Amino acid sequence: MPSELVVNIVPTSSRNSEGNFLMPPTKATPGSAAFDCRITEPVMFYNGQKHLLDLGFRIAIPEGYVGKLFVRSGLSRQGFTLANGVGIIDPDYRGTVMANMLYQGEAPVRTLAQGERVCQLIIEEIPLVSFRLVDDLGETTRTGGFGSTGRE
């Protein structure tokens, strides 16, 4: 079992009368790989429309790690996606975590409720990478791209 990584978050909204954070990122089950993130206010989407959704917190991703936001699979089946595919949270970003959500579903209008789980957050270790300029990359048996390996 890997050791626990502690990540600091600060709520930016959605506090109850005692000042407690109402919607921190949470795992749906003990075996979940990702943390569900909720929106802080209701939002109505017309088909083809995008909204920048406030997830209600700021986060300090540790150096050497990256945060990745993905749309929840249940919402993707209904026509929601992140406009940029995957949201990246760099370790030096300290602003409010937002999701740029796009709706392209069958219904002409769809409303997401305050507190609804819309995204999943995964925090992954990233390797230290540098690029080296070379004259040749060597050969492989693969040719082409964009579906060249077939569908089966």
Average pLDDT of the segment spanning 76-97: 96
What ranges do the domains of the chain cover?
A: 28-125
Is the pLDDT at 21 greater than 80? The verdict is: no
H or E stretch at 45: strand 43-46
C-alpha span between 150 and 148 (Å, rounded): 5
* Matching CATH number, 28-125, of 3.40.50.300, 2.70.40.10, 2.40.50.140, 3.40.50.20: 2.70.40.10
**Confidence grade of residue 15 (pLDDT, cut at 50, 70, 90):** low
**Confidence grade of residue 150 (pLDDT, cut at 50, 70, 90):** low
C-alpha span between 145 and 3 (Å, rounded): 39
Is the pLDDT at 38 greater than 80? The verdict is: yes
Region of poorest pLDDT, from 46-60, 99-113, 116-130, 135-149: 135-149
Greater confidence (5 vs 16) lies with 5
